[in-house]
Chain A
Amino acid sequence: MNARTVVTGMGIAAPNGLGAEDFWTATRNGRSGIGPVSRFDPAQYPLRLAGEVPGFVAEDHLPGRLLPQTDRMTRLALVAADWALTDAGITPDEVPAFDMGVVTSSSSGGFEFGQGELQKLWSKGSRYVSAYQSFAWFYAVNSGQISIRNGMKGPSSVLVSDQAGGLDAVAQARRQIRKGTPMIVTGGVDASICPWGWVAQLASGRLSTGDDPRRAYLPFDAHAHGHVPGEGGAILLLENVENARSRGARIYGEIAGYAATFDPRAGSGREPGLRTAIELALADAEVRPEDVDVIFADAAAIPEMDRVEAEAIAAVFGPYGVPVTAPKSMTGRLYSGAAALDLASALLSISTGVIPPTTNVEAVPDYRLDLVTDEPRSTPIRTALVVARGHGGFNSAVVVQAPSD
């Protein structure tokens, strides 16, 4: 079965906006959520900036029973899932349990929760470690908690491929819809702004330094020197188009194409897999390069990686062939939450006809990118491409299209 898959709901928790409306208002206007770390004292670390989700009080949204057993990333994911379902007009109680599944992405699991329990382990002993540590840190915990809270007994899984995960999860959700489950909650939310998360991320060697939020994360710029970590992401409701139409749902757009590739071994001299991922995603969507109206870039902000991405885009679309943007310049990189958030932005670009800007950046001229900087650009958008790369060689690309009549 090749059922068409559409997005009918979204819930967003991002550093520059809690809720889809706040997020989009900030994003289209170039308002950043990057600032000094407030969740712990970062003074002794080389990076002291982050994109933190503002004003989230879990107690206001979730029952008390869930609080002792959830990491911050799970609390954000549960609330974003609630918002996505409300946005889609779905009351889970009224839908057969096996008609709904959950597929999310994860990168490191519940680090802040895990850090707290490890501290209890070495300072007080094993009897002080919470029984909930058994799953609260775990990669699949967001999928599990969303499915339990909403009584969703359809297919459930987790994809772990770092920053590419958000797209890989959406693709897996589309597979499950094609196999016959009418609705899948998908996307990704991450949050590991805690000392343990910080040192783990610093070890990648890809983090920026400095204390100026406007100069710390500069993808495609001559001064690119790594990224700022952020937290949050997006949860989307994916639905079989027939199901969506029969209940008169508002449709944001269609997940029209997807592909994933893996990079060749480092030092092999072979071309990285990104260009192929883009070409295969376009082929899967049956669109030509000239049909694409905007690209949401991975935007690593490591000069070699920016060059790889710019070359892949120029190879497929021609020099300056298509507008490119990286709104994650306003949020930092959200790991498993990043690509789902970019997908939400792409869908909001389609509905509003606005490409949000890449902030504080001036593109390196020989990248030959039509990078949308400084100001949002108004233009009709029917087809958008979202590109994401995960640490270790993951490349994924998704094509989203405006709903057809």
Chain B
Amino acid sequence: MSTKNFTLDDLKRILREGAGSDDDIDIDGDILDAGFEQLGYESLALLETGSRIEREYGITLDEPSLVDATTPRALIALVNAHLADSLAA
């Protein structure tokens, strides 16, 4: 199976690098099911995050499914599904 797996820690690192983080919102806590909006990341922050994931992992995320991934859990699942596809291909 996949040797490359996208984890919550990967997502947190990429969010911090691409869009920064605020002192008053703790993204190190249990954020898997928190909405990105609630975490302070608006659509442009997610666009930047998506673009960083794409170039780091060599995948292409289509925009509609990126927009539909409104929580870290959904985005991580989306990325891992693409990683599995790219391995299978």
Q: Which residues of A contact B (CB under 8 A)?
A: 63-69, 127-128, 130-132, 134
Contacts and interface: CB of A to CB of B under 8 A. Distances in A.
B20 A65 contact: yes
User: Which DSSP category, helix, strand, loop or mixed, fits chain A's interface?
Assistant: helix
Interface stretch (B3-11, B48-56, B68-76, B80-88): B48-56
Given A64-B21, A130-B18, A131-B45, 9 more contacts: A63-B24, A65-B20, A67-B20, A68-B19, A69-B19, A127-B55, A130-B48, A132-B44, A134-B44
B40 A65 contact: yes
A128 B54 CA distance: 10
Contacts of B21: 64-65
A132 B48 contact: yes
A134 B51 CA distance: 14
Contacts of B30: none
Interface string B36-47: 000010001101
B22 interface: yes
Contacts of A65: 19-22, 40, 45
Which of A64, A128, A134 has most chain B Cβ within 10 Å? A64
B23 interface: yes
Contact of B44 (A63, A67, A127, A131): A131
Contacts of A67: 20
A64 B27 CA distance: 12
A63 B48 contact: no
A69 B47 CA distance: 13
Contacts of A68: 17-20, 48
Contacts of B54: 127
A80 to B, nearest CB: 21
Contacts of B45: 65, 131
User: Can you list the 3 inter-chain pairs with the closest CB atoms, starting with the nearest?
Assistant: A131-B48, A64-B20, A131-B47
Contacts of B48: 68, 130-132
Contacts of A69: 19-20, 44
A131 B17 CA distance: 13
Nearest to A127: B55
A66 B20 contact: yes
A65 B23 CA distance: 9
A68 B23 CA distance: 15
A66 B19 CA distance: 8
Given A64-B23, A132-B44, A127 B51 contact: yes
Nearest to B17: A68
Contacts of B24: 63
Nearest to A125: B55
A67 B24 CA distance: 15
Contacts of A134: 44
Contacts of A127: 51, 54-55
A128 B20 contact: no
A120 to B, nearest CB: 11
A95 B79 CA distance: 43
Nearest to B39: A65
Nearest to B41: A65
Contact of A64 (B22, B44, B47, B55): B22
Nearest to A148: B42
A69 B45 CA distance: 9
A132 B16 CA distance: 14
Nearest to B19: A68
A66 to B, nearest CB: 7
